[in-house]
Amino acid sequence: MNNTQTGKRIAIFLGLTFVITCLFEIFVIGHMIDKPEYALVSSLLVSSVMIIPALCVVITRLITKEGFKDAWILPNFKGHIRYYVLAWLLPVALTVAGTVLYFVIYPNRFDPNMGAMAQTFEAQGVNFDPAAMRSLMLLQIAASVLLAPVLNILTTTGEEWGWRGYLVPKLSEKLSILPTVLISGVIWGLWHAPLTVMGHNYGLDYPGYPYTGILAMCAFCIVIGVFFSYVSLRTRSCLPAAVGHGALNGFAAVGIYFTPGSDASHTFLGPAPTGIIGGAGFVVAMVIFTVIMVRLEKKNALIAPPKQSKAEAAADTAA
């Protein structure tokens, strides 16, 4: 692949993705996100933003006449099921680890009566006793683990086809794996900046707002981006990353419900994995998977080879 052509494709993709996203978030979502009467609509619109990177992949491939052969969007299940299982379960395990660590450090923040969850229901005019809320939480945890990766697959594929199915493979044509995951993670984090400024990720009440929030989001995206890049590169598909992203999105808020709920100042620390302490398990995983990818890269075995058509396989066999 010509490096100039690859660079051009990266620039077009990023330009489209950032411009469309920023315009949509600032001029559409920005007028609703802080208004309670638009809470449901703004939530749906925020979720719809995740489709934009995939849309820009399609536009970029059409503009540059790259086409859609080997587009990293097919599942490639054969020989790769273990990566899907890993993507499904590991984010849950790492989220639990970070949540437990947070409550060990801040035991006074643990509320077995789930004050934060009670506040959420009260805001909707619904009251549950603690026993009913615990039962409901158990059902929500089960649904998050078993169903979230499937239910979230449309929106998470929208993001992952852009970041892990296009940007990471393109950067890997020009760079080694370390700068690839670092640069792609920073870009992914900056893409979240308008919503971070609006308080979506960390609220509005934390030291250094909004700059520390943007930096924290970039750090978080680098950390989880390493794992998502690993499962995508090993399968030559963005779909395992989409499964992992869906598992993370579905389970990330569980720890928050076990806080008192009256003080949002701790969200910068945890217990959600976007917090510094809540994300500790993902930091450990980042180090492990970075080492694995560097070693595989040295063996020229990091990226799964492209899937051959039957005609290409027959030609290779004949040769």
Question: Is residue 316 included in any domain, yes or no?
Answer: no
Q: Which range marks the domain in which residue 289 is found?
A: 71-310
For 154-188, the pLDDT digits (tens) are 999 999 999 999 999 999 999 999 999 999 999 99
Question: Is residue 55 included in any domain, yes or no?
Answer: no
Lookup: tokens for 171: 């950067």
pLDDT of residue 43: 87
For 202-216, the pLDDT digits (tens) are 888 888 999 999 999
Q: Is the bond preceding residue 210 a cis peptide, omega within 30 degrees? A: yes
Question: Is residue 50 included in any domain, yes or no?
Answer: no
pLDDT of residue 272: 92
Lookup: tokens for 233: 């590169």
pLDDT of residue 134: 81
CB within 8 Å of 178: residues ≥ 6 apart: 290, 294
Question: Is residue 38 included in any domain, yes or no?
Answer: no
pTM of the model: 0.92
What total number of domains does the chain contain? Answer: 1
Question: Residue 107 has what DSSP assignment?
Answer: G
pLDDT of residue 311: 46
- Calculate the CA dihedral of residues 3, 5, 7, 8 and round it to 10 degrees: 170
| CA nearest to 274, candidates 231, 232, 212, 230 | 212
Question: Is residue 17 included in any domain, yes or no?
Answer: no
d(CA 26, CA 190): 15
Question: Is residue 80 included in any domain, yes or no?
Answer: yes
Specify whether the CB–CB gap between 29 and 42 falls below 8 A.
Answer: yes
Question: Is residue 282 included in any domain, yes or no?
Answer: yes
d(CA 61, CA 63): 6
Over 60: is that where the pLDDT of 56 sits? Answer: yes
For the four alpha carbons of 230, 234, 238 and 241, in that order, the dihedral sign comes to negative
Question: Is residue 304 included in any domain, yes or no?
Answer: yes
